[in-house]
Structures are given as C-alpha cells and as structure tokens.
Structure 1
Amino acid sequence: MQKVKLKWLEKPRIDNIGVTFCIPWKKGQLNNIKNIVLRSEDGSIIPAQSWVLSYWGDGSVKVSGHAAFFGTNLPDEVFACIEEVAAKKFEEMIRVFEDKTHINITTGKLECKLCKTGSKIIEYIKIKEKVICSNLAQVIKTEKISNLMGYKTKVEEEYIPEILGAKIESCGPLRSVIKVWGRHLRNTKMTFDGSLLKQGWLPFELRLYFYANSDKIKIVHTFIYNGNPHQDFIKGLGLKFNLPLHSPLYNRFVRFGGDSGLFCESPKNLIDVYRKERYKTMFQNQVNGQPINFDIDEDHHYIREINNTPEWDEFILFQDSSEHYVIKKRTSYQCNFIKATEGKRAMGFAYVGDENGGLGVALKDFWQKYPSGFEVKALTSSEAILTIWLWPPYGEVMDLRHYDFGTYTSSSYEGFDEYRSTPYGIANTNELWLYCFDYPPTSEQLLEYAKMQGFSPLLVYSPERYKETEIFEGLNLPDNSNSKKEKIERILTAIVDFYLKEVERRKWYGFWDYGDFMHSYDTVRHMWKYDIGGYAWQNTELVPNIWLWLMFLRTGRFDIFKMAEAMTRHTSEVDMYHLGEYKGLGSRHNVVHWGCGCKEVRISMAYLHRYYYYLTADERIGQLMDDVKDIDKQIMHMDPMRAYFTNDPENRVHIRVGPDIMTFCANWLVRWERYQEDIYKQKIIKILDFLKKNPAAFISGGIFDYDPENNQVKPIEYTGGSNFVFCFGNTLVWLEIAKNFEDKEFEELCAQQGLFYTEFKENKNEILKSWGVPNFGFKLNIFNIGMAAFAAMKKNIPELKKEIWQMFLDYNKNPWLKFICNGGINLQLSTIPVPVVEVPFISTNIASQWSINALLALEFIGDELQEL
C-alpha cells in the first residue's frame, strides 16, 4: 500500500467543515482515482469524493481533486493511500434536484433552494424546516453627478439583479458546486443603450459550494465591470439576505468581528438600572448570546424599565481603510447614527439571529480589500436585512477613470503611445462563507468563526512530496548543507520576507490593488514609483506569481501562500479582460492596473495560475485558464507589434517567440494536461517543429508572421539584443514542455540557448553560425541565467557553472543584494511622511527573476556551488 501524508495549511478553529484539496502524483503512479483512499491517523477511512484535474502524457493521473467532510476532533494529519478496498458507504450524501426554475440542494444538515430566473439567487436556506435566511440578492447602487446652473446634484440609482441561469457545475456525493450568473437592470426598466444593451449592467456569477452533512456554504462571487468609467460610478455593491426574527427584541443579537474580539449588542440592550446582581448577570448572558427568560412576577418592574429604552434598528460596520473601521447604530433611518466604537482591522465577520438561531457570514480579506462593510437593518421588525458590502455606499464612489488624458511613453515607460486605458471588461472576485445556526450560538463560539476570517480550510502536502512528484518545473527544496548554499537560501528568504513586509509597510491594500506589488523604487523620494507610468503597479510583469508559488511549495509557509493566493486572484481578474475588445488579454504594468496601452497575451497566461488550481481545484481559476486556450486568435485584432509595423502592406500579424509564442504553448500545455485534448498537443508539436527548423527564432528580437487559423509561424527578421525569450517564465515553460513530450531534440535546443548568452565561448559562435545569425553581443544576465544553468548541467561545463554562481552573488551587478541581506536601511527623514525600510536599486522585475533563476540554478548546478 502506497501512503502519503497531508497536513493542514493552517488547522481550522472550527469543527464540522467541508474541505476541497488536491493530491499530486508521480508520472505512472496512479491510473484510477477509485483506488485513492483517505485515512485518519488511527487508520479509519475518511469518506471522500475524487476527480481528476490533470493527466501526465502517458494518461496517468497528474493531479487529483478531492472533497471530504470532517466532523469533530479534526485530525492533525490525513493520509492518502493507493489501495483496493471496498468503498465506504456514505452516511450522508448531498442530494440535488433540478427543474426549470429552481435547483434544490440538501446536505443532511440544511436545505437550499436556488433560483434560475428572477432577481433572487437563493430563495431560502432551511435547517429542519426552519428558515435561516431567504431572498439572497445582489445590491448595486450607482451615483451620477451633474452641474447645472451652478448647482451640484448627485443622483443615486439602484439596479435590479436579473438571474440569467444556473447550472450544476459539479455534483458528487460529498460536494456539489452550483454556478449562478446574471446581470443588473435599471429600476426604471428603461432600455439600455450601446454596450449595455446586450450584456446588461455589471454581469456577475456566483459559485456556491455545498458539503454533505454540513451547515456551511462557501460562495465565490465575481462581477465584471462593463460601464463607462467617466459616467458609471458604483456607489454600493453587495449581497443582502432576509432573516426571520420571532423573538423579543432583547433576544435578538448582532455580532461584528473586531480586531481581536466581538462587538456584541442587541436592538434592546438590557440595563443595569437597579444595580442588582440578577440583572447584571442577565445582561452579561445577553452579551454572551444566551437568550433571556424573565419571570413576569419577579421582573415586571425591570421589564417596564427596559421597555422604556431605545430600540436600535440599524447597525453598520464600515472598514474605510486598511487601518480603520467604525461601528455605528441608529434607531431609525430618520434619525442620526451614533458611534459605538472604532478599531483598526475588523475580522470580516457578522452574525444576526435570535433565540431560534441565525446566520453568520465571513468575508475573506475584509480589511485588505477595503472599503468593505456589514449593514443590519429592520432588526426590530419580523424580518431583518443583513447586507455584506463588497463596496459600501458610505464613502467615496468606485472611481475607475485613468490618472491622466494621455500617455508618457518615452519618459515613463508606458509602452505604446496608444491610449487604451479602460476598465471595461475587468473583474473582481471575492470569497465568503455562510454559517447557519438553528440554535443561538454563544459569543465564544462565534469568535472562533470570526478568527477564520473567511479563509477556506486546506490540506496540503509537504514540500518533499511536491518536489518528488515533479508536477511543477523548477521546484527544489531548501538546502543549507554548506555555507555556499546557505548563503543563497538566506538571500531567497530575505527577498520574499522583504516583499511581504513591504505590503504592510507601504499599505499595498485596497479593493482593486490587493495582491499586487509595485514595480520600481525611487531612491530620491524614498518610495515606490506609484505615480510614474509603467514603473508603478507590477501586474504579472516578469512573473512574480511563479516566484511566490515556488517559494511556498518549497517552504510550506502560510504567509507566502496567502500572498500568492491574493496575487493569483488579483492578476487573473483585475489585470485581465473578461469582456469586450480585449477579452482574454491582460494589461501591462501602469499607474492604474488597466492603464497601459499594451494589451498582452503573456499577462493572462494560464501557466501563472495553475499553481493555485493544482492546490485548491478552484473552479473560477479553472474557468479563467479555459478562457485563454485559444488566445492566439485574439491577436488577429490586437497585433502585439503594431507600433513597429504600422505600414505592413501584407497586413500580417506580428509576434515574438518570447512573450507570445511561448504563452500560446503554455496555455495549450495547461489545456492538454487538464483535458487530454490532442488538438492542443498537436498545436505545441507544430510550434516545436518550427523552432527546431528555425532555431534562430529564440533570439529575443526575432519578429514572426503568425497565422492563427492554421497555427502557422513564418520568420520575418532577427534583431537580437533583448531577453524576452527568458524573462516571462519562458525557461520553465520550454523545459516543462520538453520533459512532458520527452523531446530530446528540443531539450538540446534549449541547452544551446543557454550557451550563447554566456561568456563561455565553447561552441557559442558555431551555434550562432549554424543558426544563420551574427553574434549580437549576447551576454549572461539575471534574465537568461536559469537557461544557462540548464546548459551547464547538460553539457557539464565547470567554467560556466562558476560563471553563473559568480554572477548571482556579484554585488556590482546586483547592488541591491547587500542591502536586502541586511534587512534594508531604516530611514526617518524630514522629506518622508513615515519611517521606511529601504532597499536601494530594487525592482520587482529583478527580485522575481533573481529568485526564480536562483531556484533553477540550485536545481541544475546546486551541487557544484563553490565558495566565492
């Protein structure tokens, strides 16, 4: 029996949870997922649902997805075994019923009725015939400003959601995923004009995750902006529920997660007016969430007094920045809010209920993706309304306009002169959990839910397992076996730690920003170049995603996982277009994420996001990787080299091997390994055949004519001189394709690439001569050094290995290294508003490329690392 161990990425604080996770497999190790058995520490079988996420080239399973439910006494470790045993009968199974208008799901603990049409997403959620909540719907508010006759007028408008459809995306005995999608219509039912006529306003989709025997529901919510940023300002965006309340007001409860504990109140708080221990205890019990029972005879005077106190009908929690939130309440919309308390970072949790139970909600990355909030209304009526605000209406409107009216190509690295800054088609995805209670939970219980902060429990493997299975190229393990390796490891750790701390120090937070890093640093102003064209936000330029995921996989660090996850969500949604002219393309780096005129296939490359997919099986990420499988056809309408071939009489489509052809192949590789669709394998083979016959194509400046309909590449000219062949994840992609296709000829071609960029002369000029191109003065640098390390290993060239390691640690070529190793420079000056930690000369391009290529060098020639 083969057995491997899983552990919690971070052990959940609560019991009775459903978990989705993935298992990597070595090539040829597993052919049938029915033979996968999960066992707990005592050897007992854990019921699980399994499916295949991807395959090796020989048809064996590469990554499998799994769902399991864990009750009380969560094990610290779980074991995945390959064995032939009789399947354990599921004690509880999800049951899904579908008709023309609804989808009904029962988990054994709750029943949920979803709508396929109308304005409501969820008609109701019940536990034991008791309605916990109902009428889940989206709330969209817009604001328009007009200036007529010297008067400034603001007009707010609320839109009505329209469900266009729902489908069962995944249905198994232990886990079911329902996808619901729709749009929004004007409340006035007026006809849309222009682009909104077909799409409606603000298309959205939700995925709802159900687990057998669970009273919890996970929701992944996505919306796409499809308006005019100069006119269509979003004032409020959220999800609202109706919650039936039948208890006396003093037995109704509101809970908000604060910095470390809960805000606990009721629409009718008890009072300590008589200074009696009995009533003080009752008040304390009310705060703790315990229903109060009065003795009519003994307590009639006290009841009369509390009936003469205010009835608080509305409560709000508003996180207006990453550093501040406020909680307020009022008795009526006709009266003023009063402030209850303020704090720094709320946990993103709210609960509303009475003595019969209630609903808890947790919004992930609550303060990181500010503004956000919760609102409770009609708490004194028979049906309260709980709204989870992804963008609360209490502050500024969502402003998606560009920062200027033109571009600054030569001075500010903004790519093309074309002004193509548009948010039309960008998206944002958020995760939340619903916790359903058919009893009144105590405040201590709810605090444990709040501390989860909406994070989904996840089982992962050890770094050794990920390395052993070889599902990711370039992955190796930390090795401090000698002083030379220990020095490289120390630098790798210092770089990632510096960036994780910079997120906090520089406050790289916000609804549209969280998950991204800044691009380049300004040593004069002692801040990142937040306002300078293409030097501001990084987006996926030079693939920091890959760097972070490789660092997580080799260390298992939770803080790195959270940052890599946030970057995956951000770059796959905000930096990529999902509608319109640029659908499937991404925006290069800029002051605003969508601001650059360069709309590139490399920014939206599926290869960047499959790390997260092969750890979590997230359906939204899977959909986004599917969306770019044929992105090569999109460049027929958006030639990436249009600025340089403005007068091409043949109207050809011009591409480069580095960013473009490599991206096509990376997308096809992901598609092929996920679905075994031979058409995408053949597309890659056709490209490989072309490259073998035209090896000079790997010279970075090479420009090619591409026919997307026939997958045909033709050379136009070779110019050389840059490193686009290597710096967008190319080394990893090409070597992984060579390994997966067992193509030794192409592997040799990769090794030749690594040779002619180095100072090592052996065979260099001969290679270039045989390719039919001159030596353009190629030099080894931090972008191509990973492929050089591969060549040094393949050809066993000691001089080249030494050259590579000298370059990695050369402070003249990498001046920022000596600062990063010392933790940066602490600065407190009169010309900077707050103290900073500075690493002069750093850029995220260099940091990510140094790290990725150092990992490759450790993998290929780490054993030859010498003392320098």
Structure 2
Amino acid sequence: MKLNPISRREFVRNSVLLSGGLFMLPPFAANAEQPSPPALGPVELSWLNKSAPPLNPGVTWGVSWPKGAVNRKSDFSLKGSEGTAIGVQNWPLAYWPDGSLKWTGHAIGAGEMALGEKFSLTPGKAKGPTEKLKVEETADTISIDTGKIRCLLNKKGNSIIAHIQRDGRKILEEGKLVLMHQDRPDDDFFENIDRTQLLGEISSISLEQMGDVRSVVKVEGIHKAEVGKSLLPYIIRMYFYQGAESIKILHTIIYDGDEEKDFIKGLGIRFDVAMEDELHNRHIRFTGEEDGVFSEAVRGLTGLRRDPGKDVRDAQLLGKKTKPLSEFPDNVAGNIENIPAFGDYTLYQGSSDAFHIKKRTKHGHTWLNSGQGRRSNGMGYVGSASGGVAFGIRNFWQSYPAQLDIRNAHTDKAQVTTWFWAPQSPAMDLRFYHDGMGLDTHEKQLKAMDITYEDYEPGFGTAEGVARTSEVMLWVLPATPEQVNLVKMASVLTEPPLLTTTSEHMLQSGVFGQLWSTPDRSSDQRKEIEEQLDWYFDFYQKQQEQHRWFGFWDYGDFMHTYDVDRKVWRYDVGGFAWDNSELSTDLWLWYYYLKTGRADAFRLAEAMTRHTGEVDVHHTGPFAPLGSRHNVQHWGCSAKQLRISTAANRRFYYYLTADERTGDLMREQIDAVATLRKVPPTRKVTAKENWVTEDPDMVHVGFGTDWGAISAAWLVEWERTENEGIKKKLLNSMRTIGEQPLGFFNGGSKMNLQTGEFDIVQSRRPTASHLSAVFGLTEMAIELYDLVGMESFNKAWLTYCELYNADDAAQEKVLGSSLGSLNLAQGHSRLTAFAAHKKKDPALAKRAWEEFYAGAGGTGRITPSMETITGPSVLRPTIQAIGVSTNGTAQWGLAAIQNLALIGKM
C-alpha cells in the first residue's frame, strides 16, 4: 500500500529517530506476552481525585483481577491506610474463561470509614458493616433503613417514594416523576397551546441488589395523564448505602413521542417537604458559582427598620433556630406578621453561562430577581432547624436548561421539583432540522451526501427511541446545614467519590487487551509522543468549554470537524457536526485515562459514555438498538449502525464503576445484529442481493464494524454471566471468520442468528475497508486473540494486521492481488504493531513506527500550534488549531497509546 508522501526533511528526521531511539531498546519489554499472575498481594486503592472527598455518601467501584488468581467464590477484605478493617460489600462483575474472577464490584457505606487517602483490598473474609442496611418487602411496599433515614417505596401508583423519615419524623413525602407536555412548540405564538401534566406511573419495581452495605431498587414505568395520554417510558434506580443520610437517583427517559405533536415543557422529580417551625426559622439555600451559597429565610429578619438583635440575625443567617419570639424586642415580636413571607423560589440555569434566582411571596404575585451568576452546581435546600431536604442535579449547568423549584415553603408542606428540562425554557423540540429537500431516492441522497456529508433518508431522522440519563442526590437532614456543609454536598454531587486501582494493576490483570502503557518520558521520542497525547486531550477539553458543547441532549459529545473560514466547528453541516463516536473517540478517551489515571480524563470519558450510550442510540422503535452516525442532530443520520451502539465503548465505565444502567446498555446489544435484516447498513451502495436473504435466521454481517460490535456485546455478556449459548455464538463466529478463504479480507458473509456461524464464501478476491478496524474491532480482536487462543481466528487476524498497511507486493504474495489505495494508514499502524509484537519482528515494528510518523490519513507528528482568535471575526475569543480533527485525533491517540504499549520498548 502506498503511504502519503512526506518531505525529505521529515523522512530524514524520522529515520534518525527510528534508528536511534525507539527501536534500539530490548525487544518487546512492554506488555510482552501476558505475564503469569503475580503473587497476589493487597490491591492498592486510592481516590480518583487523588485526595479524600469532603464527605462520603457511600461509594461503589470495580476492581480487575489476573486470570486464575482469584477463585470465583472468594470474598474480599478492605482496610484503610492504618490497617483498620472497613465494612465492604463484594460481588462478581465478570469471570475469566477458567471461571476465576476477572472483575468485581465493591461498596462501602457512609458510616463505615474515616475518609483516608489509601486503601487495600485483598481476597479473604470480608468485614461486615457495624450496622446493616435493613430491607423489608411486602406485597405493596419496600422499606429500606440506612441507619440514618428510612425510605418507604410504593409498588403501585405514581408516588414512588411514599416518604422518607429521619428520627421518626416524615420529612420527605410523595416523591414522583413529573412531565409537562404540550402539543406544539412555544414559537407558535398565535396558536393555543394545550398543556398537560403527566406523572410517572409504576409498572414494575424490584430489588435489583440487596446487601448489608448497598441496595439498589429499580423502577420502570411510563408517564401518564389523568385521562388518556401516556408518554416517555422511564427507568429509575435508587441507591441506598448503610449509614447514609442521602440517596442517589439515576433517572432515564426514552423518547417515544411524535416529534410533530409531543413537545416536552418540563421533566423532573417532585416531592413534598414537611415544614415546621416559624416562618423566620425556615430556610432556603441554593449553591451558586464555586463555593457560593444563596441563603435566605422564608421570613427574613435582617435589614428591617426595627432590629431583632444581632443574636437573632446571626442565628437566622446560619440556619439555626432563633431564640423564642417571646424574647424578641417588642417592636419586632408584635409586628412580625407584617413582614412578607416568601414561599416560592426558583434557580434557573438557562444556558451554560448564566443562572438566575428569583422569589415571590406566593402564586398570583410577581417575582423578585434575587441573584445571578454564571454556573450553578445545582444544589438546593428547603427546611428548618427541625429538618429538611437538600437536593441537587449532577452536571446541572452542563446539561442546561435545568431548574430547581421550591414552592409553598410558607405552608405546612413545601413542594420541590428538580427539573432536568426546565419549564422556564422553550419546550423541547425534537423535530428534524430540515424538510427533506426533495431527497426521496437513494440516488439523490448519495448526491447530497457528496456535498454536505449528511446521509439523509426520509423517516430515519426521528428521535424515537433515544434516551437520556440524569442523576439526582437527595439528603434528608435533621436541621438546616451550615453553608460549608452544603458546599461539601455540592462537591460530591458534582464529582461523586470513586475508588480506583492503579494503571499498573490493571495492566497486570490483563484486562482491556493490555493496550496501554504507563507514561514514559525516558527518551526524547517517547517524551514527544506523551506530550502530544496530553496536548490533544487538553485541547479538546478546552474546545468543549470554548465552543460550549453543553446542553441536555449534547453534553458529553464532541464535534466532528472544524470550519477554518467561520472559525467554528461545523455544527450545521451535515455529517461534520456532532461526532457520535466516529472513529472511536470514546476509546481514545478511555485508553488515555487508563494510561494516565487523570481524573479529568475519567470525567470527560464518563460524560461521553453517558451521552453516546443513551442519546446516540435508538433504544426502542424501528431502529432499536442501533446507533446513529454523526449528524447535525445526534439521531438525524439514516446510517443506523452497530458501530455506534457498540458495547466496546461502554465496558470501561461499567467495570470501573459497576454502573447498572451501563450494564443495561451493553445487554441491549446482544441481539442487535438481527436488526441488520431490517436496516441493512449498505442498502444504498450495494446490490440488494448482497444483503437480502429470505431465511429469517440469516443476515449479512461485515467482519469489520459489524462483527467488532457483535463480538463486544457477546464477549461482555459471556464474561458477565458465563452464558454458554452466548459463548458458543461468539466462538462460532470467530471460527468461521478464521475458516474464510481470506479471513478478514473476505469482508463479510451471512451469519446464522441462532448459531453465530458465518457462511464460508467462495470468493478469492480480497477486500478491505479503512473503517473496518477503527470502531473497536482492533481492540476486541486483540483481546480475544489471547483470551480465546483460537488458532484459525488468530491467524486470520494476524494476517489482516500485517497486510493492511503492507506494500502491493506483500499483499499480492499472500492474497493474490493488492488491496489498492486504502486510507487511515496511521491509525492502522497499531495493527502492524500488534503483528510485530506477536511475531517478535523488529522489521514490522520499524514499519509500524514509519506508518505512524508518516501520518497518512491521520495527523502529523509535530504537536499542532494553537492561536487565539479575537473579534470581530469570532463571537468570543477562541483558541483554534488548524488541521486538528476529531477523527484524526482519536485515531492518532489510539495508535500512539497502543504502539507504545506493543512496541514502545524495542
């Protein structure tokens, strides 16, 4: 294969580097062959943020183990930095093929530890918690007592949380899901808008996990109006930890409406808070920017014409109960009823750059503007010295428009609504962004794609089936928290505490293909690559901020391509807009995190996983469970593909956090291949006979992006459940790829949906696509190579790795003819590196680095330069780096990380 030409100066420079740097070290020292399991000592754990969180609401995390090292029936003991045993709950997440534990989940309660910096986990008898979660279930309710709070959940109706008690007092009541629907968009100014309130009706509720430290309740249902309409299926999970005064709620909705008629005006969780004490002893709190707090009382006692006394004013400001009214000065006590009481408050984040707070006395009266700022972290509180509730939405400003409402705080029951979609904003409008422009045939659609890169087809740009997951925390408190404590709660809401193992431990465990190495700057060449890896990550982190890649449906995604002329990313140009996992941006971020352990890398990858797994995938409807290719709207492209919905992008987050919702998303993909019968990915560009079959058990599947996604779903399910049927289908598919005349170079074949076997094709004409290996196939095939050890499959994969970037003569010698001109040679250098690694071939390793540095179909080896652009040519000062694209960055990043791991020390 011909590589893109490079200048003589670059070639000479690269040759010097190749001959004098990366290739002169002992061969294959980094991640050589999978090592024998080390003598298993304690596994060291530390906080993701490298320091202890300000408070502990309960923590869950995952740990990897080497093959054969830990018996499947093992329990685990956890100790603090001083050797103190800590109560821990343990459960399996995945198994190695030999039945030993591969991944385990662990949880500690809120009351079991003094926050320390380091911990150690060891197979052995676990210490139980000092006090256990108490769970009771009846035909109608589930009751969970953490030791601090007792929550009663209903099994029927629309009041999911009947009440939460603290110290025997019901503080939170009637917790329910609320949806505000309207039949037309807000911009239809001269039309009557019909609005309806729907509440989340329970269809099923179950104890998904019941333990002494951690229990999880899963609730499913749909929002229903009193008469008629049902809309938006939901899944919520409530997490309870021993000793906790808080619960976490993970809230998922799936859009099942008609975009032309169903506009969401508000979406949230609502509950009542019992209000006691006098109005001047009732308190309202909102967190603002950084550590800022808005603090007021329902009836304020400061700034009056008559002074109640410093001790009274100080107590109210601190949220403490004042002295009895009888001890107030007469001119205040006798006139206090004439001080207005403000019962309603709203914190509204209408964009990523502005929030405001307003209040009013009660419904029917005007609002007063009470405060403004840029970015609230989304915490509130309502209550009194006798108790109350703190509440917050994670990623509040990032996922705007969001809103926190407090109503009727001047009555016996205040009402709180945490709005994921703020009713103060225009209604959610999910209609397609253009009218189709007459593109009613595949021929017209392909022609249009040639100019805008948008793969349009009528009816395919629907939002039906896309989902969104949000996170809420509720603290049921015995009194109004001090401002500093509310800030601590906001901190753990924003960045939930997470314990992690080291990168070295995960490498020794042999997980994720061992396709990364720890940072190494011991030579100029390695230092340059490490610095460029950091540069790209830092650049995209800044681009997210500068170009405001935020919003309810957008947060977590990147843009695809930059527009040099307008100096913006091409947000409105067809397939150049939202990236939707194109060329494995998700994998780049996750492997970068595994390599560096950077907390900010984890958080960026986490947000992307939440987004791409929910918003970019159809979970119900005709395209379920396929994902959508990059587009102006996340669901807009007519290319519905497994490469976007692939479990390969989700498994990192699942195993590192034991997150159940992510587990749902991966399980959703097990039978996704069958959808290719209804939505063939090549229907516009290949003859119908190439993808249509009358046999309902057969479907045409490509060996690249399709099988890469299928294998990911099957591997994850096999290792999670040890399901023999799934295992057999995976192994059958691998075996029959290996039995093809040209292996992966046969491109694809018909798969039996019942057995996973491919038909053996007769063609001896080799074919390859530059996209086949860049959506997770590389990572999955490499992991399966050692995990399964199937000779025929391994030979086919190794041949593909060695020949994709080979010259014409090498390809013709093995395949009978060359592959012609292929793209993404730089990204595929990691395939060459894998072949070099397995064959212990320094010549192949040298070739891999040459491919990497040549930059064909990728990006150059020199870190791009940034420049700051100011007005009037841009809306706001902007940093740009000409030539940087998300596709190129993701593939360069994966090639750099994996090449260093496979052949970095030779």
Give the Cα–Cα distance (whole angstroms) in 2 for the partners of residues 506 and 59 of structure 1. Answer: 48
Give the Cα–Cα distance (whole angstroms) in 2 for the partners of residues 149 and 251 of structure 1. Answer: 45
Deviates more, 1:59-68 or 1:266-275: 266-275
1:511-546 CA distance string (max 9 Å, x none): 000000001111111111111111110112111111
Which amino acid is 1:140 matched to? L
| Pairs within 5 Å for 1:441-590 | 441-473=481-513, 474-590=515-631
Would the alpha carbon gap of residues 816 and 529 (structure 1) be closer, same or farther in structure 2, given more than 3 Å must change?
farther
Q: Partner residue of 2:782? A: 735
| Pairs within 5 Å for 1:92-491 | 92-145=131-184, 151-187=190-226, 189-190=227-228, 192=229, 200-259=230-289, 260-273=291-304, 279-294=309-324, 296=326, 299-406=329-436, 408-415=448-455, 417-473=457-513, 474-491=515-532
CA contact (8 A) 2:128 2:212 kept: no
Would the alpha carbon gap of residues 810 and 672 (structure 1) be closer, same or farther in structure 2, given more than 3 Å must change?
same
Of 121, 126, 133, which aligns to 1:80? 121
**Cα offset for 1:429?**
0.3
Q: Partner residue of 2:36? A: none
CA contact (8 A) 2:798 2:835 kept: yes
Which amino acid is 1:755 matched to? E
**Cα offset for 1:146?**
9.1
SS, match of residue 229 in structure 1: coil
TM-score where L is the length of structure 1: 0.94
**Cα offset for 1:394?**
0.7
**Cα offset for 1:226?**
0.5
Q: Partner residue of 2:5? A: none
**Cα offset for 1:569?**
0.4
Q: Partner residue of 2:720? A: 674
1 or 2 for the larger relative contact order (CA 8 Å, sep ≥6)? 2
Q: Partner residue of 1:196? A: none
Give the Cα–Cα distance (whole angstroms) in 2 for the partners of residues 78 and 381 of structure 1. Answer: 47
Q: Partner residue of 1:804? A: 848
SS, match of residue 825 in structure 2: coil
TM-score where L is the length of structure 2: 0.90
**Cα offset for 1:297?**
5.2
2:824 counterpart of 1:785: no
Would the alpha carbon gap of residues 543 and 180 (structure 1) be closer, same or farther in structure 2, given more than 3 Å must change?
same
SS, match of residue 184 in structure 1: strand
1:588-636 CA distance string (max 9 Å, x none): 1100000000111121111210100111000111111111111112222
| Pairs within 5 Å for 1:597-676 | 597-645=638-686, 647-648=688-689, 651-652=692-693, 653-676=699-722
**Cα offset for 1:204?**
0.7
Q: Partner residue of 1:4? A: 43
SS, match of residue 669 in structure 1: helix
Which amino acid is 1:451 matched to? S
Task: Tell me how large the CA RMSD over aligned residues is.
Answer: 2.3
1:56-102 CA distance string (max 9 Å, x none): 1111100000111243631111111134x5x5343211122112221
Deviates more, 1:371-380 or 1:141-150: 141-150
Give the Cα–Cα distance (whole angstroms) in 1 for the partners of residues 804 and 738 of structure 2. Answer: 18
Of 707, 711, 734, which aligns to 2:752? 707
Which amino acid is 2:292 matched to? G
Deviates more, 1:159-168 or 1:491-500: 159-168
**Cα offset for 1:453?**
3.4
Give the Cα–Cα distance (whole angstroms) in 2 for the partners of residues 581 and 829 of structure 1. Answer: 46
Of 822, 832, 852, which aligns to 2:874? 832
**Cα offset for 1:250?**
0.3
**Cα offset for 1:699?**
2.9
Would the alpha carbon gap of residues 130 and 297 (structure 1) be closer, same or farther in structure 2, given more than 3 Å must change?
closer
Deviates more, 1:544-553 or 1:3-12: 3-12
Would the alpha carbon gap of residues 697 and 353 (structure 1) be closer, same or farther in structure 2, given more than 3 Å must change?
same
CA contact (8 A) 2:592 2:601 kept: yes
Would the alpha carbon gap of residues 528 and 716 (structure 1) be closer, same or farther in structure 2, given more than 3 Å must change?
farther
Q: Which runs of 5+ in 2 are unaligned?
A: 1-39, 437-444, 694-698
SS, match of residue 202 in structure 2: strand
Of 51, 65, 68, which aligns to 1:25? 65
SS, match of residue 511 in structure 1: coil
1:141-179 CA distance string (max 9 Å, x none): 112349999942222211132111210000011110001
Give the Cα–Cα distance (whole angstroms) in 2 for the partners of residues 3 and 43 of structure 1. Answer: 11
Q: Which runs of 5+ in 1 are unaligned?
A: 193-199
Which amino acid is 1:424 matched to? E
Would the alpha carbon gap of residues 89 and 611 (structure 1) be closer, same or farther in structure 2, given more than 3 Å must change?
closer
2:882 counterpart of 1:857: no
1:27-59 CA distance string (max 9 Å, x none): 111014544110111212111111000011111
SS, match of residue 193 in structure 2: strand
CA contact (8 A) 1:7 1:78 kept: yes
2:112 counterpart of 1:68: no
CA contact (8 A) 1:819 1:825 kept: no
**Cα offset for 1:643?**
1.6
Q: Partner residue of 1:197? A: none
Which amino acid is 1:694 matched to? Q
Which amino acid is 2:750 matched to? D
CA contact (8 A) 1:416 1:643 kept: no
**Cα offset for 1:307?**
2.4
Would the alpha carbon gap of residues 790 and 112 (structure 1) be closer, same or farther in structure 2, given more than 3 Å must change?
same
**Cα offset for 1:426?**
0.6
Give the Cα–Cα distance (whole angstroms) in 2 for the partners of residues 637 and 217 of structure 1. Answer: 42
Would the alpha carbon gap of residues 793 and 471 (structure 1) be closer, same or farther in structure 2, given more than 3 Å must change?
closer
SS, match of residue 836 in structure 2: helix
SS, match of residue 154 in structure 1: coil
CA contact (8 A) 1:640 1:655 kept: no
Would the alpha carbon gap of residues 596 and 697 (structure 1) be closer, same or farther in structure 2, given more than 3 Å must change?
farther
Give the Cα–Cα distance (whole angstroms) in 1 for the partners of residues 449 and 601 of structure 2. Answer: 34
**Cα offset for 1:776?**
2.9
Which amino acid is 1:321 matched to? S
**Cα offset for 1:697?**
4.5
SS, match of residue 699 in structure 1: helix
1:654-685 CA distance string (max 9 Å, x none): 33111112211111111111111121221122
**Cα offset for 1:777?**
4.3
1:679-733 CA distance string (max 9 Å, x none): 1221122112212221535238x34333324434233865735312211121111
**Cα offset for 1:644?**
3.0
Q: Partner residue of 1:42? A: 82
Give the Cα–Cα distance (whole angstroms) in 2 for the partners of residues 588 and 628 of structure 1. Answer: 17
Give the Cα–Cα distance (whole angstroms) in 2 for the partners of residues 135 and 853 of structure 1. Answer: 53
SS, match of residue 276 in structure 2: coil
**Cα offset for 1:817?**
5.0
**Cα offset for 1:421?**
0.3
Q: Partner residue of 2:28? A: none
Give the Cα–Cα distance (whole angstroms) in 1 for the partners of residues 328 and 557 of structure 2. Answer: 62
Give the Cα–Cα distance (whole angstroms) in 2 for the partners of residues 672 and 647 of structure 1. Answer: 34
